[in-house]
């Protein structure tokens, strides 16, 4: 009789975001972020995000607060667009989130679960 051990679920979840995020997609974005609230390592891939407004920034801060209260480490955000990186730095979000230039800089060879979010 042979036994097969189940592989452990990846401890890192990546939400890959694309498009322009604003108040019109706030509730969908919140739902897309929900799985990140319950995993040890959370990564947001914003490399294909072209715009974010203050409601989206608020959703990111909300996620950070929920994860911090659960005892998880900070989130990593991969940002390629100079305008979005500038916004994060102006708002000092680089002190809240670990910012990297590309998703591969955040993965460190980890096994991950990929989820997708697309702004309308």
Count the domains in the chain.
Answer: 1
| Structural domain includes residue 1 | no
Predicted confidence at residue 119, as pLDDT, reads 78
**Is 6 a residue whose pLDDT tops 80?**
no
Identify the CATH number of the domain in which residue 52 sits.
3.30.750.24
DSSP per-residue string spanning 12-33: EEEEEEEEEE-GGGHHHHHHHH
Predicted confidence at residue 18, as pLDDT, reads 95
Predicted confidence at residue 2, as pLDDT, reads 35
Predicted confidence at residue 1, as pLDDT, reads 37
| Structural domain includes residue 3 | no
Average pLDDT, the chain: 88
| Structural domain includes residue 114 | yes
Predicted confidence at residue 87, as pLDDT, reads 95
pTM of this structure = 0.85
**Is 10 a residue whose pLDDT tops 70?**
no
Instruction: Look up the domain containing 56 and give its range.
Output: 12-118
Sort 72 into a burial class: Cβ within 10 Å, 0-12 / 13-18 / 19+.
middle
């Amino acid at each position: 009789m042979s036994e097969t051990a189940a592989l452990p679920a990846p401890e890192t979840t990546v939400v890959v975001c694309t498009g322009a995020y604003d108040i019109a997609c706030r509730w969908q974005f919140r739902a897309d972020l929900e799985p990140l609230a319950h995993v040890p390592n959370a990564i947001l891939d914003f490399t294909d995000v072209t715009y974010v407004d203050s409601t989206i920034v608020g959703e990111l801060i909300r996620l950070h607060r929920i994860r911090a209260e659960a005892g998880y480490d900070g989130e990593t955000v991969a940002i390629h667009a100079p305008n979005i990186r500038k916004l994060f730095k102006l708002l000092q979000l680089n002190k809240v989130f670990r910012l990297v230039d590309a998703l591969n800089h955040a993965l460190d060879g980890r096994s991950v679960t990929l989820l997708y979010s697309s702004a309308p």
